[in-house]
Structure 1
Amino acid sequence: MKMTLKKTWYRRVIEIDGLQMWLQKWSPDFKPEEDLPTALAWVLLPGLPFHLHTWQYLKQIVSHVGIPLTLDVATANKTRPSMAKVRVEMDLRKPQIDQVWIGMEYEDSPLKGFYQNIEYEGAPKYCKHCKNLGHNVLECRVLERMNQKKEQEKIVKAKDRVEEIGTILDGNKKNTQIMNGENDKKKKKGDNDKQHDKKDINKENDEAQQQTGQKKETIGTDPKTQMIEKEKDQEGTTKRRFKNKAKKKTEKKIPKKEE
């Protein structure tokens, strides 16, 4: 009974009517929609020195990979000196190491040893995202769909943002156009007012010039005004003559200083 259970457990996969059934150990964390992260696999140690092909050494070597369970028939019978093979229960969440240090340490000598290469046979892939066997995170379709959905949401948000910015820019453009139109209207109105003021000033100047011209004409044509102007001119000339004579008399009276 024990041997049958052991063989069945080591097979790991059983086919029933063409369908595969994976065997797993029960645990308190068991969920039907998730696969347990533990699996059985063969650990290969190629080129391992033949004197280390014993259970005492091999279980210590493969303990860095997982829990050692048993040796294969060739390793147990020592009929394949080129490679040792051990059945191990692995935690698929941990990274698979490809080398392990094998050496011995003595008190009177430095550390001596070598790196042993490790290969795996029958180790299934495990996805840490959806927690299912058969694929890893890089091949997870669930994660890929989620990433695609996120990318689409980012694209939609970017488009909405661009449209929002476009509407803001259009509104600003319309506002600037309205302000420019109002400024143009004010400028035109100011120019028109200036032109009207200039016309009014020119009109007033023309009217003033016409009035002064009419006054000059009336002054020139009126005989009384002409007589008055002549009398004023004669009085002015007589006054200038008297002043000049007075200046000459005063100059004669003042004696010259002797040198």
Structure 2
Amino acid sequence: MSVGRTLGTPILTDHSSLTMDFGYFIKDLVDIDLAVPVPNKILVEVDEGNFWQRVELGSTLKFCSHCKIIGHTLVEYRVIKEQVLKAEEPKEKRRNQGAPTPTENYTKNQKK
């Protein structure tokens, strides 16, 4: 359970993990605060020495790091998308204002 405590609040450890039926890995059910970044590895301290263990998350819900709501990600956040589109709109207008029309750069002979 101490490995799970590193990531959040441990709820349950898989029976196979407790009896080490399938090798040296642990499958824990942990309540994790998704508002805090989840590490991709943790340091495991044992009597024989310390080692880094990779963390693999099972199925997780979509979580928006901007509004802290479950159900969508930052990429899917509508308000942010609208703000980005509005911010880019004036840039496009400014770019097109100074651009000459296709016929402005031609001489009279080239227009024919």
CA distance in 2, matches of 1:148, 1:64: 40
Q: Does 1:127 align with 2:64?
A: yes
Q: Which runs of 5+ in 2 are unaligned?
A: 99-112
Aligned residues: 97
Query: Counterpart in 2 of 1:80?
Result: 22
Q: Deviations over 1:191-231 (max 9, x none)?
A: xxxxxxxxxxxxxxxxxxxxxxxxxxxxxxxxxxxxxxxxx
In the alignment, the residues of structure 1 paired with residue 19 and residue 45 of structure 2 have an alpha-carbon distance, to the nearest angstrom, of 25
Match of 1:143 among 80, 89, 102: 80
Contact map agreement 1:103 1:114 (CA 8 A) in 2: yes
Output the CA distance in 2 between the equivalents of 1:61 and 1:75: 12
**Contact 1:66-1:88 at 8 Å conserved across structures:** yes
Distance 1:82 1:61 in 2: 13
> Shift in Å at residue 77 of structure 1?
4.3
Residue 113 of structure 1, aligned match among 41, 50, 67:
50
Structure 2: distance between partners of 1:103 and 1:153: 55
Q: How does 1:9-158 map to 2 (within 5 A)?
A: 59-104=1-46, 112-156=49-93, 158=94
Q: Which runs of 5+ in 1 are unaligned?
A: 1-58, 106-110, 164-259
Superposition deviation, residue 65 in structure 1: 1.0
Q: Closer, same or farther in 2 for the Cα pair 1:123/1:113, shift >3 Å?
A: same
CA distance in 2, matches of 1:98, 1:128: 17
Is this contact kept in 2: 1:129–1:143, CA < 8 A? no
Q: Note if contact 2:35-2:68 (Cα within 8 Å) is conserved in structure 1.
A: no
Query: Secondary structure, in 3 states, of the residue corresponding to 2:49?
Result: strand
Deviant stretches of 4+, over 3 Å = 153-156
* Cα 1:82/1:103, change in 2 over 3 Å: closer
Give the TM-score taking structure 1 as reference length. Answer: 0.33
Query: Considering only CA atoms, is the larger Rg found in Structure 1 or Structure 2?
Result: 1
Instruction: State the identity as a percent.
Output: 25
Aligned alpha-carbon RMSD (Å): 2.6
- Structure with the higher fraction of residues in helix conformation: 1
